[in-house]
């Protein structure tokens, strides 16, 4: 097997910006998960399994990482970045939470529901704000 790093195959992953109507009726909240391995706050996401469609992977990852079922909606911008020198692409969708309960697990030890502006500040990676901005733009103005 020969190959140059620039020919490295892209790591494909998928996730959702999970949202719900705020319990007080005042707008929406978005879900952030804390991953102890990276000590970061991000949206639920993960790598595609062999032969898996990106949307199916996104819904599976939401359930695995948050304990919540979801109803996927509009596609959001794809994140592209390097991980250990390999290109990674994460496809994202907006997804409304549809019931469930969080239990801490090996991948995710904490979960927060935050108002969008609080989530924007809490996100570890500035690039994740693109998906949040697109989510908010997808909601009808009332």
pLDDT, one tens digit per residue, over 90-138 is: 999 999 999 999 999 999 999 999 999 999 999 999 999 999 999 999 9
The CA distance from 130 to 77, in Å, is: 7
Name beta bridge partners: 91.
14
CATH number at residue 98: 3.90.79.10
Question: Would 2 be classed as within a structural domain?
Answer: no
pLDDT digits (tens, 9 = 90+) for 5-57: 444 599 999 999 999 999 888 899 999 999 999 999 999 999 999 999 999 99
- How many other C-beta atoms can be found within 10 angstroms of the C-beta atom of residue 4? 6
| The predicted structure's pLDDT at residue 142 | 54
Domain that holds residue 30: 9-138
Question: Would 1 be classed as within a structural domain?
Answer: no
Place of tokens 């108002």: 115
**Given this model, what pLDDT does residue 3 score?**
45
Q: Does a structural domain hold residue 76?
A: yes
Number of domains in the chain: 1
Answer whether 0.85 is exceeded by the pTM.
yes
Which residues, 6+ apart, have CB-to-CB distance to 121 below 8 Å? none
Domain annotation covers residue 134: yes
């Amino acid at each position: 097997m020969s190959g140059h790093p620039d020919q490295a195959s892209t790591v494909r992953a998928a996730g959702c910006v999970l949202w719900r109507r705020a319990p007080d009726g005042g707008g929406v909240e978005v879900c952030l998960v804390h991953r102890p391995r990276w000590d970061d706050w991000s949206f639920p996401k993960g790598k595609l399994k062999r032969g898996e469609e990106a949307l199916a992977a996104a819904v599976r990852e939401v359930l695995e990482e948050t304990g919540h079922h979801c109803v996927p909606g509009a596609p959001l911008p794809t994140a592209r970045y390097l991980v250990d020198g390999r290109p990674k692409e994460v496809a994202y969708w907006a997804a409304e939470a549809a019931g469930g309960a969080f239990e801490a697990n090996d991948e995710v030890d904490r979960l927060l529901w935050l108002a969008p502006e609080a989530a924007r500040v809490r996100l570890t990676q500035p690039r994740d704000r693109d998906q949040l901005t697109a989510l908010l733009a997808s909601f009808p103005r009332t």
